[in-house]
Amino acid sequence: MELNTIKPSAGAKHARRRVGRGIGSGLGKTAGRGHKGQKSRTGGFHRVGFEGGQMPMHRRLPKRGFKSRAVALNGEINLSDLSALNMAEVDLLVLKQARLVGQLVRNVKVVMTGDLTRAVTLKNIKATAGAKLAIEAAGGSVQAS
């Protein structure tokens, strides 16, 4: 094999389309662009979302809020769920095993709904001000992270 005999494999190279080179080429006159119109002109094309000058869809529709993806990571339980749990110490893992919160939840807050009759210690679980008072009144405590 010599350097001057090396050729690309069959089908690897394609001939460039030569447009506007006469009627016999099949791509003469309009050069495959059809007749008239914006797409037939040089530089004549539109950007994505352009609707011919009409107010585009993304500007016609009103802007409306957003959905936070952090919502799936937050969970809440109430005081009556804590009493039903029958555990002295409660943390995130205990709540997941009891299926009181989802498996994706990372942050849990206790809200003051229902009543608590037993002493419960919360570890790395937040509580609202009212819930914290109710837990401490029952003899429990809230240990922050």
pTM: 0.56
Q: Give Cα separations from 18 to 32, 38, 42 (angstroms).
A: 11, 22, 16
Confidence of residue 145 (pLDDT cuts 50, 70, 90): low
Is residue 39 situated within a structural domain?
A: no
Which residues make Cβ contacts (< 8 Å) with residue 66, sequence separation at least 6?
Answer: none
Is residue 59 situated within a structural domain?
A: no
Q: How far apart are CA 112 and CA 99, in angstroms?
A: 19
- What beta strand segments (E) does the chain contain? 74-78, 89-90, 107-111, 121-123, 126-127, 141-143
Is residue 17 situated within a structural domain?
A: no
In the chain, the amino acid numbered 33 is R
Task: Please give the tally of structural domains in the chain.
Answer: 1
- The per-residue pLDDT for range 10-68, each reduced to its tens digit, is 999 999 999 999 999 999 999 999 999 888 999 888 889 999 899 999 999 999 999 99
Is residue 107 situated within a structural domain?
A: yes
How many Cβ atoms sit within 10 Å of the Cβ of residue 90?
23
| Residues 109-128, mean pLDDT to the nearest whole number | 93
Is residue 128 situated within a structural domain?
A: yes
Is residue 14 situated within a structural domain?
A: no
Is residue 120 situated within a structural domain?
A: yes
CATH of the domain at 131: 3.100.10.10
Farthest-apart Cα atoms in the chain, separation? 97
Is residue 11 situated within a structural domain?
A: no
8 Å CB contact between 57 and 49: yes
* Range of the structural domain that residue 77 is part of: 69-143
Phi, psi of 89 (to 5 degrees): -115, 130
Q: How far apart are CA 110 and CA 116, in angstroms?
A: 11
